[in-house]
Structure 1
Amino acid sequence: MGCGFHSIVSEMKFHLLLICVAISLGPLPGLEAGVTEEQMWSAGNLMRDVCLPKYPKVSKEIADNIRNGNIPNSKDSNCYINCILEMMQSIKKGKFQLEPTLKQVDIMLPDSYKDEYRKGIHLCRDSTVGLKNAPNCDPAHALLSCLKNNIKVFVFP
């Protein structure tokens, strides 16, 4: 039951999360159709429930502050943010993923958020360039801070 077992369990939890997100969103008429705010927050809460236990130094209060746009710059909070951004397919190994991020905007956000988020994403596309992921998850902090500063209606799980 070494790392291999832990990895398999983590992978299973991730796939279960994706299934739960898909179920919570219900049938989508197409990628162009957004979700309701309630569905967006439900999916976000599922991601949060997976990432928070991985970073015990990030309390629910800290996570709530991040959700409200108060983004601390510490290893634990940055790696919590990284966990969520990886689940959202926005970051992979510290590198921003433009196309998967834009795809997630289409799937996971209500229509009223989409244009603003697309603009912010394009403005922040280079915010992780030159930053190292280890040991402090700095690219995640830089990306989320940039998005917060460039998107009027900021949302984060």
Structure 2
Amino acid sequence: MKLDLLLIIVAVGISLPGSEAGVTEEQMWSAGKLMRDVCLPKYPKVTVEVADGIRNGQIPNNKDSNCYINCVLEMMQAIKKGKFQVEASLKQMDVLLPDSYKPEYRQGINTCKDSTVGLKNAPNCDPAHALLSCLKSNIKVFVFP
């Protein structure tokens, strides 16, 4: 239900007059907040402070944090069953990011395309940690809800 709401909000935001250049940063963060609000309650050991740290690029490597990251990445359609969904990520990037972010994110996504290869998703959501760490290392303007 919340994912449907997110998609509606993003679609409406993109189709508003004057928004032909893509979403604004405000719209991007609003969409991210919805994802965060869905995933945080699923992982009670991940506090708001830990989630804020992840958003700021401090990515802990433990089961709860990794699975929270996995939840958000799944909502973004960036990862599915521990596999990086490169084409879906590129499409979502076009929908969820302002135009000024896109060239660097496109390059980062392509650089990290193999970051989940050989990693098992269960039980610790390791591919999500590997993917987000790779993206953070390869994209100057790091964005994560």
Range into which the TM-score falls when normalised by the shorter chain: over 0.9
Which stretches of structure 1, 4 residues or longer, exceed 4 Å deviation after superposition? none
Give the counterpart of 1:18 among 7, 25, 28: 7
Tell me how far apart the structure 2 counterparts of residues 26 and 118 of structure 1 sit (CA, whole Å): 19
Q: Does 1:142 align with 2:135?
A: no
Query: Normalising by structure 1, what TM-score?
Result: 0.86
Give the counterpart of 1:96 among 84, 88, 93: 84
Give the counterpart of 2:73 among 63, 80, 85: 85
Structure of larger gyration radius:
1
Give the match for residue 6 of structure 1.
none
Tell me how far apart the structure 2 counterparts of residues 16 and 125 of structure 1 sit (CA, whole Å): 29
Alpha-carbon RMSD: 1.5
Q: Aligned-pair distance for 1:20?
A: 3.9
Percent of aligned pairs with the same amino acid: 80
Gaps of 5+ in 1: 1-11
Q: CA offsets per residue over residues 33-76 of structure 1, 9 Å max, x none?
A: 32110000000001000000000000000000000000000000
Give the match for residue 61 of structure 2.
73
Query: Normalising by structure 2, what TM-score?
Result: 0.93
Change (3 A) 1:26 1:106: closer
**What does residue range 35-114 of structure 1 map to in structure 2 within 5 Å?**
35-114=23-102
Instruction: Count matched residues.
Output: 143
Gaps of 5+ in 2: none
